[in-house]
């Protein structure tokens, strides 16, 4: 199969470039062995872009990202940029690219690989076999609501404020994504809100109830976010697909990651609305951050990045077989006992970032032979 798939790589800061290098390795393998040609361009985002251009994201990068079939992003930020102006922080670049590309649907699967069930901070029986999907709204809510800011009142008091706002179309499109994904899985959707306190999320709940008639095969439930945080730790397997707001999704996905053993294991896909031809903007990134404490040392776990690449194969290119191949290779390498530091336990073999990528590639070779 020959295809020319345009990718834009934005490795970013900290461990971003190291984990992205392992994607390059897999792409090199696929070019050779699977005859899929990827046309890869690379650019900068985040702190490194602030250093080079005084802004975390340039307009031309946004244009290139829109023109690409898919964007792969490492991670952005780090202590070096803690004191730059708030609106040009590295994180602002990430938020802008999500917003400008219209990536409203953020899919964050939390899957426990059997070999890692003991790396979880929860008991094996609570997490083993866990496979949930958090669908996080990504371009609205309190992250983007206006007004926002910090003002100084006449008496010298400072007042900081943000606005949690959702419109019905914003809620409807993300909740529909939740329903559609639930239809392909166990047909259970849990919508998470704070409807007992926040009007905007009470409206969210009402919208979900209104829409559910279109998905008669899916059982919709609702949960308040505080309870959901507790239930995710108590009994995560009660969930299948979760749909929630931008900020609640940010928080709950970090919590869910611990069930899987490490934040270094969680991939994500951020998708825009499909156009008439079915094409959609898409960005794939690990849920983890830049891990400045271990950056540049070859200690980072590249698996979340590789699993994000697998999500790209599935969601942007409909390459289900190749996606499963990569995911299967990751699982096999874990089964064989290879571990980066974040998931290391007694009796396992500690490998570097590159060592892990190399092992995944070798396993791909074996499987494709």
Contacting ligand IPM within 266-305 (CB under 6 A): 287
Regarding 18 and contact with Mg ion (CB under 5 A), the answer is no
Residue 64 binding: pick among ligand IPM, Mg ion, none (C-beta 5-8 Å cut-off by kind) = none
Q: Which stretch binds Mg ion (CB under 5 A): 33-41, 51-59, 123-131, 245-253?
A: 245-253
DSSP letter assigned to residue 279: -
Exactly one of 250, 284, 315, 342 is catalytic; which is it?
250
Catalytic site includes residue 226? yes
Regarding 243 and contact with ligand IPM (CB under 6 A), the answer is no
Regarding 250 and contact with Mg ion (CB under 5 A), the answer is yes
Catalytic site includes residue 155? no
Beta carbons of 231 and 128 less than 8 angstroms apart:
no
- Using CB under 6 A as the binding criterion, the count of chain residues that bind ligand IPM stands at 6
212 by DSSP, 3-state: which?
helix
Regarding 250 and contact with ligand IPM (CB under 6 A), the answer is yes
Regarding 332 and contact with ligand IPM (CB under 6 A), the answer is no
Please count the CA atoms within 13 angstroms of the CA of 1 that sit on its side-chain side.
Answer: 11
Catalytic site includes residue 293? no
**Both structure tokens of 315:** 């969601």
Contacting ligand IPM within 82-111 (CB under 6 A): 91, 94-95
Exactly one of 5, 13, 69, 143 is catalytic; which is it?
143
Give per-residue burial for 46-78: e unless 16+ CB within 10 Å, then b: bbbbbeeeebbbbeebbebbeebbbbbbbbbbb
CB of 127 to Mg ion, least distance (A): 20
Catalytic site includes residue 6? no
Enumerate the β-bridge partners of residue 151: 159
Catalytic site includes residue 254? yes
Alpha helices, DSSP H, located in the chain: 16-33, 47-53, 59-67, 90-100, 124-127, 168-184, 199-211, 225-234, 246-259, 303-315, 320-335, 353-368
* Main-chain phi, psi angles of 181, to 5 degrees: -70, -35
Contacting ligand IPM within 58-77 (CB under 6 A): 77
Question: What is the distance between the alpha carbons of residues 252 and 137, in angstroms, rounded to a whole number?
Answer: 12
Interacting residue ranges for ligand IPM, rule: CB under 6 A: 77, 91, 94-95, 250, 287
Active site residues: 143, 194, 226, 250, 254
Q: Which residues bind Mg ion (CB under 5 A)?
A: 250
């Amino acid at each position: 199969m020959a295809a020319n798939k345009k990718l834009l790589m934005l490795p970013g800061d900290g461990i971003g470039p190291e984990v992205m290098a392992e994607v390059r390795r897999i792409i090199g393998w696929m070019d050779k062995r699977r005859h899929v040609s990827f046309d890869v361009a690379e650019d900068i985002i985040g702190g490194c872009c602030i250093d080079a251009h005084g802004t975390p994201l340039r307009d031309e990068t946004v244009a290139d990202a829109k023109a690409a079939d898919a964007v792969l992003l490492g991670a952005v930020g780090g202590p070096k940029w803690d004191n730059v102006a708030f609106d040009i922080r590295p994180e602002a670049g990430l938020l802008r690219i999500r917003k400008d590309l219209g990536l409203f649907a953020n899919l964050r699967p939390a899957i426990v690989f059997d070999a890692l069930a003991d790396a979880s901070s929860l008991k094996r029986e609570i997490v083993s076999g866990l496979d949930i999907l958090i669908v996080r709204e990504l371009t609205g809510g309190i992250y983007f609501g206006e007004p926002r800011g910090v003002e100084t009142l006449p008496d010298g008091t400072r007042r900081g404020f943000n606005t949690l706002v959702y419109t019905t179309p914003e809620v409807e499109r993300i909740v529909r994504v939740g329903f559609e994904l639930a239809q392909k899985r166990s047909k259970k959707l849990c919508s998470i809100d704070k409807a007992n306190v926040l009007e905007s999320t009470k409206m969210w709940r009402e919208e979900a109830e209104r829409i559910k008639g279109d998905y008669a095969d899916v059982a919709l439930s609702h949960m308040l976010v505080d309870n959901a945080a507790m239930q995710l730790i108590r009994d995560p397997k009660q969930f299948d697909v979760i749909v929630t707001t931008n900020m609640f999704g940010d928080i709950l996905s970090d919590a869910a990651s611990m069930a899987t053993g490490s934040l270094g294991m969680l991939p994500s896909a951020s998708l825009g609305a499909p156009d008439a031809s079915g094409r959609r903007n898409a960005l794939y990134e690990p849920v983890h951050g830049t891990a400045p404490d271990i950056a540049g040392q070859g200690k980072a776990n590249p698996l979340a990045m590789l699993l994000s690449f697998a999500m790209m194969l599935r969601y942007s290119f409909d390459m289900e077989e190749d996606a499963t191949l990569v995911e299967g290779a990751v699982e096999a390498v874990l089964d064989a006992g290879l571990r980066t530091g974040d998931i290391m336990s007694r009796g396992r073999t500690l490998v570097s970032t590159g060592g892990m990528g190399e092992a995944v590639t070798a396993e791909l070779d074996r499987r494709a032979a």
